Amino acid sequence: MELQRTAIPDVVLLTPRRFGDDRGFFSEVFNAKTFTEQLGDFTFVQDNHSVSATPGTVRGLHYQTEPHAQGKLVRCAKGRILDVAVDIRRSSPTFGQHVAVELSAENWSQLWVPPGFAHGFCTLVPDCEVLYKVTNLYAPSNDFGIAFDDPDLGIAWPVARDQAVLSDKDKKHPRLADATHVFA
Ligand SMILES: Cc1cn([C@H]2C[C@H](O)[C@@H](COP(=O)(O)OP(=O)(O)O[C@H]3O[C@@H](C)C(=O)[C@@H](O)[C@H]3O)O2)c(=O)[nH]c1=O
């Protein structure tokens, strides 16, 4: 497992090894011991899997507040996405800053998005499958969002808002400056 800190050091890019042979490949995509040793004592309690048919589908930016905040270990097993983590911890020197990385079936990378970050992604090709482990169960009452195209965030999304495929919920999120439920 190769590990690379990003410009926001709490956000980490992990690339598991692939063992290829005539059949295809084998890869250990998560190892609790290695993860705990390298990134901290997190326990994953739910595995999520989403499929997005259309390129330019944007999901996010989502987060759950305490006591249900989630760390997310995100990967793309089919297709290619731009994955984004935004620091929404008010006391953080990188509050409002983000990391954006491409995750794909080719690069086999994963993004560790710790609690305290809003997360979202945009699909770059048809039929993307995104899998992610989370450290807390889904809690709809603590589920919040920030507008993916908030100009203050300055995220270079590969799709314009009027072209993006969005859920009704994701069309209505506030800007970060107007969000009432961010982290301390
Ligand atoms: C997130 C989630 C949703 N659901 C349900 C609620 C709803 O009826 C349906 C679709 O939910 P959403 O529209 O929120 O799905 P989606 O927009 O894919 O939400 C996800 O987006 C990415 C970016 C994340 O980071 C995730 O944490 C999650 O928020 O699935 C669950 O049952 N469990 C869950 O953990």
Quote the pLDDT of residue 79. Answer: 98
**Cβ neighbours of residue 168 under 8 Å, at least 6 residues apart?**
none
For the chain, 184 residues long, the average pLDDT of each consecutive 10-residue run is 95 98 98 96 97 98 98 98 98 97 98 98 98 98 98 97 97 96 90
Quote the pLDDT of residue 174. Answer: 97
d(CA 108, CA 161): 28
Task: Note if 173 is an active site residue.
Answer: no
Output the CA 169–ligand 1 centroid distance in Å. 10
**Cβ neighbours of residue 52 under 8 Å, at least 6 residues apart?**
59, 123, 127, 128, 130, 165
Token pair, residue 92, equals: 């953080």
Output the CA 24–ligand 1 centroid distance in Å. 31
Quote the pLDDT of residue 93. Answer: 97
Quote the pLDDT of residue 20. Answer: 97
Mutate to test the pocket of ligand 1, among 48, 76, 86, 113 (most ligand atoms within 8 A of CB): 48
pTM: 0.97
Quote the pLDDT of residue 1. Answer: 86
d(CA 72, CA 133): 6
Q: Using CA positions, which residue lies closest to atom 4 of ligand 1?
A: 138
Q: Using CA positions, which residue lies closest to atom 25 of ligand 1?
A: 119
Q: Using CA positions, which residue lies closest to atom 29 of ligand 1?
A: 62
**Cβ neighbours of residue 130 under 8 Å, at least 6 residues apart?**
49, 50, 51, 52, 74, 75, 76, 77, 81, 103, 121
Task: Note if 138 is an active site residue.
Answer: no
| Site residues for ligand 1, CB cut-off 6 Å | 48, 50, 59-60, 62, 72, 119-121, 138, 167, 169
Q: Using CA positions, which residue lies closest to atom 16 of ligand 1?
A: 59
- Burial class of 144 by CB neighbour count within 10 A (0 to 12, 13 to 18, 19+): middle
